[in-house]
Amino acid sequence: MVDTGALYPPAGRLPLTGPLIVQSDKTLLLEVDHDLADDCRREIAPFAELERSPEHVHTYRLTPLGLWNARAAGHDAEQVVDVLLRYSRYAVPHALLVDVAETMARYGRLRLDKHPVHGLVLTTTDRAVLEEVVRSKKVSPLIGERIDPDSVAVHPSERGHLKQVLLKLGWPAEDMAGYVDGEAHAIALREDGWSVRAYQAEAVAGFWHGGSGVVVLPCGAGKTIVGAAAMARAQATTLILVTNTVAARQWRHELLTRTTLTEDEIGEYSGARKEVRPVTIATYQVMTTRRKGVYSHLELLDARDWGLIVYDEVHLLPAPIFRMTADLQARRRLGLTATLVREDGREGDVFSLIGPKRYDAPWKDIEAQGYIAPADCVEVRVTLSESERLAYATAEPEDRYRFASCTPSKTRVVERLVATHRGEQTLVIGQYIDQLDDLGARLDAPVIKGETTVRQREKLFEAFRTGEISLLVVSKVANFSIDLPEATVAVQVSGTFGSRQEEAQRLGRILRPKADGRSARFYAVTARDTLDQDYAAHRQRFLAEQGYAYRIVDADDLPTQEAT
């Protein structure tokens, strides 16, 4: 049982001037304009999830998964309670504090361990919990014989599936069963003219200590370096899973630049090539290609005795990758992402199958260190014409978002913004291909979309990097793992409904530090009084949690200083 009595100070000693209001329904209200708001945001970020972010008061929620992630990362209930008490304006509900302590205490009461005789076993520090779970119809097929009152054998092949089931039952197991070393392969970091940054070293240390898990770093903060450093730590063959072929080749370039690996040691496994080498970079797309109901390329997982598997943009893992990862629990697994949020609610699968969050650096902290550029976020609201408003109102419900996203009134605003920033490296980003084709024609700019060949994409991205061209129109194919360090302006004209991670990834395209130290400028063009505006509010939630405040301006009132 949890001794909650020792967690709380006597009544009457609580501060009454803090920025936080803690409510009994597990919501936290943060007053954005308070002097301590930024400090409070940083301290609650490891365990609380942002839900709403209007101008003055942001709403966070305490969830079991958030608290378990914090527990796995080394935060205990006393630390969480201390933060709530220290920043709360009013007395914190005692029942909530008890619930926080008891929820966090659930993590680790069940453990997966290696047994010298019985192999993989599930053990407990609380016999009643073990008795509860072994009687579950979902658990019983995954376990073997009862060894003693506090442990039961587990089928090794069910290690991942068991963790998934236990998480859903509310008893997340701490996996202490260890990992196979895999096939050894020498990998070292060059570090000639550069060095691993302190936060990157901390991220690798946190991952390695936990054995598997997720590292969350802002776009442009060097997640690839974390992957390379983890590979050097593992000294083993490595499978790297990435979003697309362009990302695969960027990983290859970084590994050749930053490590002692040679071209012959790195293979690409994509639609164009099928190379299996000591370090193999494969795309999610080719791995999940199915013919006649069979995922034929999953045999790649058995092609070598991998010592490490790296999942780039882990928040995007498709369902077949989740299923195959359930069978890879004896391998070390590193997930890399800027945003550990999924709109399909499968964060729990990432937690149980890849591992808990091992390191999470707030974006503003990395910005303060000078490793990503500061950004000015502006929501430009467009008023529809009377004819557009009527057409929107009479459209079928399923068509309204697209109509609002692609309204011609937006096109005129995008043209003005691009003209205002003429000469700066600018990206125009959208969701709908016909809209992007129209913008490309009006702006006399190349368009990169799904049907653009990999060779043509690489050619255009390189021309953009060198300054040969200063304007690109891009679809969601450019959301992830595209390195465009000199991009300074992004204009988002449409998006994937209310996707928080997409908003963050698109801002990330322009966050590389600029040679002249200038800020990045991110415009989100939205249609007023429509679903487009509603979805925009949801999309902005993650960035608001990171401390980015959107200025809202009317499209008709854009001041001339927007260009400065």
The CATH number given to whatever domain includes residue 299 is 3.40.50.300
- The model's confidence at residue 91, banded by pLDDT at 50, 70 and 90, is very high
Place of tokens 């803090």: 18
pLDDT (0 to 100) of residue 225: 95
Reference 477, options 424, 538, 430, 535; nearest CA is 430
Classify residue 181: in a domain, yes or no: no
Whether 170 and 87 map to the same domain: the answer is: no
Structurally, the chain folds into a number of domains equal to 4
Whether 36 and 81 map to the same domain: the answer is: yes
Over the chain, what is the mean pLDDT? Answer: 87
Reference 460, options 502, 496, 427, 418; nearest CA is 427
Residue 488 Cα distances to 183, 221, 255, 373, 513, angstroms: 43, 16, 26, 9, 9
Domain end call among 106, 130, 147: 106
Domain end call among 106, 121, 147: 106
Give, as one character, the DSSP assignment of residue 452.
S
Q: Where are the beta strands (DSSP E) in 130-247?
A: 143-148, 151-154, 174-175, 213-216, 238-242
Helix (H, G, I), strand (E, B) or coil at 277: coil
Whether 275 and 250 map to the same domain: the answer is: yes
Reference 211, options 114, 314, 304, 329; nearest CA is 329
pLDDT (0 to 100) of residue 54: 66
Phi, psi of 160 (to 5 degrees): -70, -45
What residues contact 229, with CB distance under 8 A and at least 6 apart?
189, 196, 200, 201, 204
CA pair distance 528, 479, nearest whole angstrom: 25
Phi, psi of 543 (to 5 degrees): -65, -35
Dihedral sign (CA 325, 476, 539, 546)? positive
Each residue of 24-44: pLDDT tens digit? Answer: 999 999 998 899 988 998 899
Classify residue 217: in a domain, yes or no: yes
Q: Are strands 426-429 and 489-492 parallel, antiparallel or unpaired?
A: parallel
Classify residue 288: in a domain, yes or no: yes
Classify residue 185: in a domain, yes or no: no
Whether 236 and 356 map to the same domain: the answer is: yes
Whether 203 and 339 map to the same domain: the answer is: yes
CA pair distance 297, 545, nearest whole angstrom: 39
Domain end call among 106, 130, 164: 106
Dihedral sign (CA 397, 402, 408, 412)? positive
> Is pLDDT of 178 > 70?
yes
Whether 270 and 337 map to the same domain: the answer is: yes
Whether 300 and 403 map to the same domain: the answer is: no
Whether 134 and 259 map to the same domain: the answer is: no
The most confident of the ranges 11-20, 24-33, 316-325 is: 24-33
> Is pLDDT of 459 > 80?
yes
Whether 102 and 31 map to the same domain: the answer is: yes
> Is pLDDT of 404 > 60?
yes
Q: Are 430 and 494 in contact (CB under 8 A)?
A: yes
Whether 212 and 354 map to the same domain: the answer is: yes
pTM, full prediction: 0.82
pLDDT (0 to 100) of residue 562: 45
Flag the least confident range among 226-230, 408-412, 443-447, 499-503: 499-503
Whether 53 and 153 map to the same domain: the answer is: no
Q: Are strands 143-148 and 151-154 parallel, antiparallel or unpaired?
A: antiparallel
Q: Are 71 and 107 in contact (CB under 8 A)?
A: yes
Identify which has the larger pLDDT, 53 or 395.
395
Classify residue 193: in a domain, yes or no: no
> Is pLDDT of 79 > 60?
yes
CA pair distance 445, 32, nearest whole angstrom: 40
Whether 394 and 537 map to the same domain: the answer is: yes
Classify residue 190: in a domain, yes or no: no
Q: How many CB atoms lie within 10 A of CB 24?
A: 11
> Is pLDDT of 288 > 90?
no
Classify residue 303: in a domain, yes or no: yes
CA pair distance 538, 500, nearest whole angstrom: 7
Each residue of 47-58: pLDDT tens digit? Answer: 998 777 666 888
| DSSP string for residues in 34-57 | STTHHHHHHHHTTTEEEEE--SSE
Q: Are 332 and 309 in contact (CB under 8 A)?
A: yes
pLDDT (0 to 100) of residue 14: 44
Structural domain span for residue 288: 198-367
Q: Are 149 and 270 in contact (CB under 8 A)?
A: no
CA pair distance 179, 306, nearest whole angstrom: 11
